[in-house]
Amino acid sequence: MIGSPIDFYFDPISPFSYLATTQIDRLAGRHGRTVEWHPLLVGITMTKVMGLKPIPDTPLKSTYSWMDAERQAAMLGVPLRRHGLKNINSLAACRAYLWLGDNDPALARELVKRISARLWVDGEDITRPEFVLSEAAAFGADVQGLEQALAAPELKERLMQAVDKAIARGVFGVPFFFVDGEALWGCDRLWMLDFKLATGRWPTSDEWVNLLQGT
């Protein structure tokens, strides 16, 4: 592999994060890059840090946001279903990612992909630790060890430290990427990330027009 890894921040409760999980590794691999995945809790960055309402609870914007998610899913050829669940969170999923990633980063990423899809395709509530343990078991994970870790304060603190570190870096939403030290936010910016990895720079206005025209 050439070039530094791409940092990818995710939160399974976001449909746009889910969409990015289906694309980022393959996109980076086309350019000889690896990806380092990092959990984020957008409930903290959005409500506690930025003082905003969650998008699903924001009039007008919530309707547009879902329409945009459906549009992007169709463009990417990825299934997406509105689940309608309330009061879900990704605490157990993100903690499990950190614990599993210590010994098997690939398995940890696959678990995040799976849990994200279970929410945004199957409409399953991903909140309960028991649900996360069941999904981890399907990948052959050490469920007993994971169960103990999820109940321990050390792993809870570790996730909060990871979130604090992301905020200190300027991460406010998901999906969020850093490529060669530069920040990029949003699943709809994957094309820009692709161009940057291919050329080492961002597109000019003329190149942007050519991309739109397919030339």
CATH number at residue 83: 3.40.30.10
SS3 content of the chain, % helix, strand, coil (to 5): 60, 10, 35
Nearest CA-CA partner of 25 in 15, 14, 37: 37
Which residue carries 């809790």 as its tokens? 41
202 is in which domain, residue-wise? 6-213
pLDDT score recorded for residue 1: 47
* pLDDT number for residue 61: 86
- Give residue 60's pLDDT: 86
Q: Would 1 be classed as within a structural domain? A: no
pLDDT at 215: 63
Is 45 inside any structural domain? Answer: yes
Q: Is residue 141 part of a domain?
A: yes
Give the pLDDT of the chain (215 residues) as one tens digit per residue.
468 999 999 999 999 999 999 999 999 999 999 999 999 999 998 777 777 778 887 888 889 999 999 999 999 999 999 999 999 999 999 999 999 999 999 999 999 999 999 999 999 999 999 999 999 999 999 999 999 999 999 999 999 999 999 999 999 999 999 999 999 999 999 999 999 999 999 888 887 767 767 76
Q: Give the count of domains, the chain.
A: 1
Q: In what order do the strands lie in the sheet with 35-39?
A: 35-39, 6-10, 176-179, 182-185
Domain contains 66: yes
Distance of alpha carbon 66 from alpha carbon 82, whole angstroms: 8
